[in-house]
Amino acid sequence: MSKPTQSFKQTIMKQSAIGEVKHTLETFKALDAQFKQLVECDLNKLHIQYLHLMQLSEDIDDADFKKPLANFAGNVLDKKSLYLSQLLTLSRKTLVVNQDIINELESIINNQEKGKNQ
């Protein structure tokens, strides 16, 4: 195969790869939006459950029962809320990193094309 044909083939393959990465990123963005809605809904539910359990534990006179219930409400629900918040933050950071990768790939192609034109 001649060098110009091979170079053209490589350029097409690189552009195709960037197109697929962009398509994957769009899928990630759609999933992230859905994930964000689900997490916000779940966090709201957990907060309501937390408030309800804390109110119940305040109204119960039995100290042996009250303490584990308050611990569950305070510890378990707070940990789950924190976990969901961290997942959401990680998802957002991943989208930023992925966009940086796209920019880097496009920059490589652009620099190679500039080098050929000079």
Residue-wise pLDDT for 40-54, tens only, equals 888 788 888 888 888
Nearest to 71 by CA among 54, 88, 94: 54
How many helices (H) and strands (E) are present in the chain, helices listed first?
3, 0
Q: Which domain range does residue 85 map to?
A: 3-110
Number of domains in the chain: 1
Residue 105 inside a domain? The answer is yes
pTM above 0.85, yes or no: no
Q: Supply angle C-alpha 54, 56, 61, rounded to 5.
A: 115
Question: How far apart, in whole angstroms, are the C-alpha atoms of residue 8 and residue 47?
Answer: 57
Q: Supply angle C-alpha 104, 13, 1, rounded to 5.
A: 130
Whole-number percent of the chain with pLDDT over 70: 97
- 3-class DSSP state of 54: helix
Residue 73 inside a domain? The answer is yes
Residue 90 inside a domain? The answer is yes
- 3-class DSSP state of 118: coil
Residue 78 inside a domain? The answer is yes
List pLDDT tens digits, range 44-82.
888 888 888 888 888 888 989 888 888 887 777 778 778
Which pLDDT does position 78 carry in this prediction?
Answer: 77
